[in-house]
Amino acid sequence: MRIRRVLGAAALRCVAAAAAGVVGRRLVRAAAQLRRAARLGARAMGFGRRSSLITQILTLQLAIVTAVGLLALGGLYWTSRTVIDDNLSHWARQWAAELNELGAPFYVSNMSDAILDVERFIAKYPEIRAVSWYRPSGEPVLTLNPQGQPFEDAEKLDAAAAAELAAYAGEESPFRLIENPEKPLAYRLAGPIWTESTLGDGLLGLGGDVPVETQIELLGFVGVDLDFSSYHAQFLPKLWLASLTLLGLLGLSWVAGRVMMKRALSPLAALQGPLADLANGDLDVSFPTSRHSEIQRIVNALEETTVALNERDRRLVHLAMHDSLTGLMNRHSFVIELEQELERIESQNSRGAVLFVDLDQFKYVNDTCGHPAGDELLKLAGRSIMSAVRSSDVVARFGGDEFAVLLKEVTRQHTRSIASKILEQMRALTHVQDEKVFSLQCSIGIAEITSEHTDPHELLSQADLACHVAKSKGRNRLEFYRVSAKESRQMTKDIDWVKSIREALDENLFTLHYQPLVHVRTGIANHYEALLRLRHRNGTLIEPQVFLPAAERFGLLSDIDRWVVDHAMRTLAGMRHGRPDLRFSINVSASAIDDGDFSSFVRTKLKEHGLPGDAVIFELTEQEAIRFALHAAKQMAAIRELGCGIAIDDFGTGYSSFAYLKRLPVDYLKIDGSFVKGLERDPVDQTMVRLIGEVAKAAGIKTVAEYVQNGTAMALLARFRIDYAQGFYLGRPAESPQETSYPVPLAGSSAPRRATQTD
């Protein structure tokens, strides 16, 4: 009889894998907790928001070490799993060798000895919690605990389990592994116990290949209850201890690293204060030196940058506060000095004076010899004024040929003496240009400063008015400001307007309206004039003739011109996407002619707004064009080189209007409205308009009639071959160019043409 009791190593590997799987799940949960702790630590240290370099380096170090620690724990888990697997495999081999002892109660006559052998077997393996024997019917025979004590209430095997186990009899691996769902790491190994006997004596089959038939007799079943939780209970505390030890080491390394890193990076930290001051605009900072070559190079670069910034700011401040040609103060810085002097005079009850110096006949030098000669003359004038005043006084160039002087702590007699000295030294100046000798003369207006004066613009206006009086009395003289009631009221109004104009420039309170210029023969309007309005804070619109005189007296026309050009071009650029043939006429003042940088400004704005030059026409009045004939021609030529058109407004009112047409590069003539208002009833006006039209046609210049008020005037304009018409009959100024159709005179009508028609 041969008893086979086999517990395969494969079954025990399954047990080991299951046990290690539970440990693995615990390790995964532990790793997740470590990751959450790392994230919380990172938040606490400021990682993820703006933090110090030291914190970020150490946090990165901590993350790396944490990752290494997790890998170490994973290696520990894998090693433990391998050890458990190897141990169980070893135990399985031992059980297979001693398996007969478990089946002894079925075939040993002495039950006590058999049970004793089983008890000794159980004692070898602490993971065995019970061994049970069953009859083939499933009835329990005996159940022993680890102490060898029998269980009183052993359960019966159910019929299905008994049948399944019986089928394993005679197999190589005759046992089944069952996991206990109510207790982790608890299993039952169960299998049949049987005997095998050979049928016949077997002598005939000796040495042959004839298989020997055997008979299997089922004796019963044996079940072994296994519990591996003790290994798990021993392993987890050690794992947690290792994890806590690792976390402690990480924390200690982070603290130690932070101390060492702060010490190593302390030279960089010392730069934070100076850099913060530098960021706040304080350039008068010093940077600490360092023994580290890399940081010292940074310090050297910062010091060089600070020096360069100081030098740049010094140059910018000087340029912002001084005139680029003469090196004297400009209007803005002079007004600041005057405001400070007014405060001092008010507090100390002292006196002073403002001199407004205007060179006489300076335009003649510019027109005759050009701007280079005029610039040299302005430099000579500035040096002459500086040499005539005291070192404590302030001299400024206001633009063009105008200078201003602030005299401090002077009496009326002393003021007159200094002003007379300026006149004498200016008369003594001569300038030779192209074999021509020019002598300088000037007119001086004086406004005295007392503690009653509080507004610098009022004083400047008084000195300017006094200078005009000096010019009206023959030039080359000085005049003190003597206020009359009428002049005082006008001065107050002008000062109020100056404040309003400056406010409008700063806060964009100006607005533009657009009036169409209609092509007479086609009725097409693709050409509009941009007209300036000042929007008062109460919502009303103020016409330019109300505030422009004050702007001219106080030198604000140039700023207004640039505002109008910029905003008109911006509007035009936005509208040309839908109306590509749209053009604007823009009015500019005499200041634009006198401004040598105006053409450069126009070029910049055309490029900025993406406009072609032929989309813009600049309008000058006839008086301005004739007054600055030579200079105007150069400025007009510079603007026309950009592709822009030039229009002469109010044409026909001058004494020699036609004589200048050959000298001025003009594209449009706008016939003065005084000839158009009564066109339908005044033969003289009709003759004048027809004559202007014929002369313009001969010169290749287009014509525009202003103030068209009815259809009869339109018919006459068509007969006189005037190109464009403008007036309330055709459209009032509006906030945006209105695209609509306009009446066409029957006498001058022609077949409708495209909106690109310009001739």
Q: Per the CATH hierarchy, to which homologous superfamily does domain 510-725 belong?
A: EAL domain (3.20.20.450)
For residue 140, the surrounding DSSP H or E stretch is strand 140-144
Helices (H), 529-678: 544-553, 557-575, 590-594, 598-609, 622-627, 629-640
- CA–CA distance, 427 with 410 (Å, rounded to integer): 24
The DSSP line for 488-541 is HHHHHHHHHHHHHHHHHHHHT-EEEEEEEEEETTT----EEEEEEEEE-TTS-E
662: which 2 tokens? 């050959």
Identify the CA nearest to 239 among candidates 397, 78, 95.
78
Helices (H), 111-202: 111-124, 159-166
- CA–CA distance, 90 with 194 (Å, rounded to integer): 25
In 174-305, where do the E strands start and end?
176-179, 186-198, 214-227
Average pLDDT over residues 36-62: 55
Quick one: pLDDT band at residue 173, thresholds 50, 70, 90?
Answer: low
Identify the CA nearest to 416 among candidates 352, 474, 478.
478
Question: Quick check: 674 and 714 in contact, CB under 8 A?
Answer: no
Question: Quick check: 16 and 90 in contact, CB under 8 A?
Answer: no
Average pLDDT over residues 14-25: 42
308: which 2 tokens? 């360069």
Domain 322-483 CATH class label: alpha beta
Q: How far is CA 101 from the centre of its chain?
A: 86
- CA–CA distance, 113 with 127 (Å, rounded to integer): 23
pLDDT digits (tens, 9 = 90+) for 541-589: 999 988 888 888 777 888 899 999 999 999 999 999 889 999 999 999 8
- Burial pattern 144-171, b for ≥16 Cβ within 10 A else e, equals bebeeeeeeebeebeeebbeebeebbee
Average pLDDT over residues 455-474: 83
355: which 2 tokens? 């001199």
Domain ranges of the chain: 1-97+229-270, 100-199+213-227, 289-319, 322-483, 510-725
SS3 604: helix
Question: Quick check: 196 and 170 in contact, CB under 8 A?
Answer: yes
Q: How far is CA 46 from the centre of its chain?
A: 25
What pLDDT is stored for residue 519 in this prediction? 93
Quick one: pLDDT band at residue 109, thresholds 50, 70, 90?
Answer: low
- CA–CA distance, 600 with 106 (Å, rounded to integer): 118
Other CB atoms closer than 10 Å to residue 259's CB: what's the count?
A: 11
Quick one: pLDDT band at residue 19, thresholds 50, 70, 90?
Answer: very low
| Terminal alpha carbon distance of the chain | 130
Residue type, 93: R
Tell how many helices (H) and how many strands (E) occur in the chain: 22, 22
Name beta bridge partners: 227. Answer: 186
Backbone φ, ψ for residue 433 (5° rounding): -145, 120
Q: CA separation (Å) from 594 to 49, 325, 625, 639?
A: 57, 14, 11, 13
The DSSP line for 305-324 is HHHHHHHHHHHHHHHHHB-T
**Largest pairwise CA distance in the chain:** 163
pLDDT digits (tens, 9 = 90+) for 403-446: 999 999 999 999 999 999 999 998 888 777 666 677 778 999 99
Question: Quick check: 320 and 299 in contact, CB under 8 A?
Answer: no
pLDDT digits (tens, 9 = 90+) for 501-533: 888 888 889 999 999 999 999 889 999 999 999
The pTM score is 0.45
Q: Are strands 583-587 and 541-542 parallel, antiparallel or unpaired?
A: unpaired
- CA–CA distance, 95 with 93 (Å, rounded to integer): 5
Side-chain half-sphere of 251: how many Cα atoms within 13 Å? 9
- CA–CA distance, 103 with 430 (Å, rounded to integer): 140
Question: Quick check: 617 and 647 in contact, CB under 8 A?
Answer: yes
Identify the CA nearest to 429 among candidates 390, 371, 378.
378
Question: Quick check: 46 and 103 in contact, CB under 8 A?
Answer: no
pLDDT digits (tens, 9 = 90+) for 650-668: 887 654 567 666 677 889 9
Q: Which long-range contacts (CB under 8 A, 24 or more apart) does 283-290 make?
A: 283/309, 283/310, 283/313
Question: Which fold is adopted by the domain 100-199+213-227?
Answer: Beta-Lactamase (3.30.450)
Angle at 84 between CA 82 and CA 87, to 5 degrees: 105
What pLDDT is stored for residue 718 in this prediction? 92
What pLDDT is stored for residue 520 in this prediction? 92
Quick one: pLDDT band at residue 203, thresholds 50, 70, 90?
Answer: low
Backbone φ, ψ for residue 7 (5° rounding): -115, 105
